[in-house]
Structure 1
Amino acid sequence: MEKTISNLSFLVPIVFGLFFLGHNDVVSVSGQLDNKFYDNKCPNLTRIVRNGVWSAISNDTRMAASLLRLHFHDCIVNGCDGSVLLDDTNNIRGEKNALGNRNSLRGFEVIDTIKTNIEKACPSIVSCSDILNLAVREAVYLAGGPYWNVPLGRRDGVTSSEASANAEIPSPFEPLANITTKFTNKGLNVKDVVVLSGGHTIGFAQCVTFKQRLFDFDGSGNPDPTLDLSLLSNLLSICPNQASSDTNLAPLDPVSIFKFDNIYYKNLINNTGLLMSDQALMTDNTTASMVQNYARYPYLFLKDFATSMVKLSGVGVLTGQDGQIRKNCRVVN
């Protein structure tokens, strides 16, 4: 399932302006965040992050999706504070151990490398949280998605909680209403649920996250009757009914696996969404209508995705004297 590429130029949108949200289009997420926050203190920041992400995706095309997931799992748990990056200590059992993260969350080494390079250029200036927010923007753009201005000035949290992550990260097995509640608890809304779910246009999922749909959807030993039969056949070959296949990977969007586009929504309309939580967007009139619109209008999806990412990046941020600027993203200073 790994794929290596030597030239990423074909992934970048041809017409930059069509996918770029300019300064005046940025959604205000905090009066203390500013996309020019580091212009004087660390002028090469964007270039360092971009080079680090470019190098990582060149070696592993899956990394774009991994960074996107890493960012979401950070922000949805106690806000965008870089707490997901913290290793465990004698006093902290952190988010890396949560059920939705353990043995599946990736990209930590990429952030470590970027942080090391930034520390050489601008010691103790740039937070790990801001690095992650910049990295995910570059990753999405390199995969063919939109480019947006990232409001900056976050500080890093000093603790991490496995229990919080278990409670707050949406699960692929949860009903849509539960997932929506987890979003609204963070100041997001139903539109953000549909838009940010579109991030599943890239990436892979472990078989364990959707096996129930293949073998015992409703407790009767039958597959999910809404699942496209061709997709079902393909997934059965990837995920045989044995525990050893639980960590096998299937693409979330088999049509354009590594390209950030709106095909994810077309898949839902065709009953070829991989996760139950994805296909569930078609079971509610409001969310289904949004899916139809994003399937029909790709530029609308790209524009709204950028807006929702800025909104997500403002959840629970630490600024001013709160938190700290960690020198090593894995440990508190």
Structure 2
Amino acid sequence: MLYTTFELRINFKNFSLATAMAIKKLLSFLFLQLTLCLLLLDLTNAESLKLGFYKKTCPNMEGIVFKTAHRYISRAPSLAAALLRLHFHDCFVRGCDGSVLLDSTKNNKAEKDGIPNSSLRGYDVIDAVKSAIENKCPGVVSCADILAMVARDAVSMIHGPYWDVPTGRRDGRVSLASETIPNLPPSFANITLLKQMFAAKGLNVKDLVVLSGGHTIGVSHCSSFTRRLYNFTGNGDADPSLDPKYAAHLRVKCKPEDANTIVEMDPGSFKTFDEDYYTLVSKRRGLFQSDAVLLNDEYTRNYVKHQAATHGSSFTNDFAKSMVKMGKIGVLTGRAGEIRKQCAFVN
């Protein structure tokens, strides 16, 4: 959905105090009603997704997705984290509409070229799956649905949970790099900002701490966290919330200006989906500041400690549920958007 912003200017000096107050209350009420209507419209779109959407139009679709993705993941398991991240970054900007897959054009800088997306990868996997499906069912399956299913399959292939993906998403035609920074939670976010950014997408605090567990796989460039090691407050100090021994270990790997070296998010098992992330965070060894701040909120702290103490007793089930919920953010359905012939280009 493309929301249109508008500006209303009223000079309240022209009205009595009582009239001005009444107008302000009316405007606040109307704004609230508009917000609720837009939210309900988003929820209606999400509910139109369903299991087996392509049962008649492309009955072997999920098998094709799995088989094609498996060719890549079996050779390079680290791609699973990249594909999960690709799905997350798609959904948090304009909803799960495949807009992160679009290439920039001469007149438009697309999401994939936004600063937060500069290290995204896995596009070739999505293109390969799309090509395989187009050979069997041309013009039927959206890139947005393919991305959601590939992320699920990739996680399951590295011992993570499997969840049923409701389908019926359509592809967006708009992709703007300028929308990435305002919508994607940064690695240096505090807990208040994280809660606000997730709430803006219809995700609650539990979804926040559960989806953060996706950091159990994958790697990060040093530049995403070196500020925590060398100049946390601007005075050449380290982040006091980071375990000193772990900070010393990271300083050996990452020098202050190092932007190229990569570090495992979950040392020792970064290619396996497990609950170790919560053990690390509970020991103050979360790599990002946005990991560490999960200990600054009562609910997220209790969840972290519970999963660490019980070896992730409910984590995989929780993750599956939150991924289904995330996959419904701002979806386009029905006649909205389009079914792209190639994921990198609008038709």
Distance 1:56 1:46 in 2: 16
Pick the aligned partner of 2:148 from 128, 133, 141: 133
Partners of 1:255 and 1:263 within 8 A in 2: no
Match of 1:251 in 2: 264
TM superposition score normalised by structure 2: 0.85
Long gaps (5+) in structure 1:
1-27
Partners of 2:46 and 2:330 within 8 A in 1: no
Amino acid at match of 1:306: A
Match of 2:127 in 1: 112
- Aligned residue for 1:205, secondary structure, equals strand
Match of 2:216 in 1: 201
Structure 1 residue 290: Cα displacement? 1.4
Distance 2:194 2:72 in 1: 31
Partners of 2:143 and 2:340 within 8 A in 1: yes
- 1:270 corresponds to 2:283: yes
Within 5 A, what are the aligned runs for 1:73-84? 73-84=89-100
* Cα displacement string for residues 157-185 of structure 1 (whole angstroms, at most 9, x for unaligned residues): 00101111121000011212112111101
Q: Which has the larger radius of gyration?
A: 2
Structure 1 residue 235: Cα displacement? 1.2
* Cα displacement string for residues 14-58 of structure 1 (whole angstroms, at most 9, x for unaligned residues): xxxxxxxxxxxxxx9833111101112111111111112211112
Distance 1:29 1:189 in 2: 19
Structure 1 residue 72: Cα displacement? 0.1
Match of 1:280 in 2: 293
After the TM superposition, which segments of 4 or more aligned residues of structure 1 sit over 3 Å from their partners?
none
> Mean alpha-carbon deviation: is it higher for 137-146 or for 290-299?
290-299
Pick the aligned partner of 1:48 from 64, 69, 91: 64
* Cα displacement string for residues 66-123 of structure 1 (whole angstroms, at most 9, x for unaligned residues): 0000000000111000000000113321101211101x00110110011001000100
Distance 2:79 2:163 in 1: 19
Match of 1:164 in 2: 179
Partners of 1:74 and 1:83 within 8 A in 2: yes
Long gaps (5+) in structure 2:
1-43
Pick the aligned partner of 2:195 from 180, 187, 201: 180
Aligned CA RMSD, in angstroms, stands at 1.5
Match of 1:8 in 2: none
Within 5 A, what are the aligned runs for 1:237-248? 237-242=252-257, 245-248=258-261
Partners of 1:198 and 1:264 within 8 A in 2: yes
Structure 1 residue 147: Cα displacement? 0.6
- 1:290 corresponds to 2:303: yes
Distance 2:237 2:62 in 1: 50
Amino acid at match of 1:44: N
Within 5 A, what are the aligned runs for 1:143-158? 143-158=158-173
Amino acid at match of 2:111: E
Distance 2:213 2:79 in 1: 17
Distance 1:326 1:127 in 2: 6
- Aligned residue for 1:199, secondary structure, equals helix
Amino acid at match of 1:330: A
- 1:124 corresponds to 2:129: no
Query: Higher helix share goes to which structure?
Result: 2
Q: Among all aligned residue pairs of Structure 1 and Structure 2, give the percentage whose two residues are the same amino acid.
A: 46
Structure 1 residue 295: Cα displacement? 2.0
Within 5 A, what are the aligned runs for 1:28-47? 30-47=46-63
- 1:86 corresponds to 2:109: no
Amino acid at match of 2:128: T
Partners of 1:49 and 1:131 within 8 A in 2: yes
* Cα displacement string for residues 232-264 of structure 1 (whole angstroms, at most 9, x for unaligned residues): 23211221123xx21211111114211111110
Distance 1:190 1:114 in 2: 33
- 1:299 corresponds to 2:313: yes
Amino acid at match of 1:268: V
- 1:232 corresponds to 2:255: no
Amino acid at match of 1:269: S
Distance 1:174 1:257 in 2: 22
Partners of 1:79 and 1:317 within 8 A in 2: yes
> Mean alpha-carbon deviation: is it higher for 33-42 or for 72-81?
33-42
Partners of 1:210 and 1:274 within 8 A in 2: yes
- CA spacing shift, 1:148–1:208, aligned 2, 3 Å: same
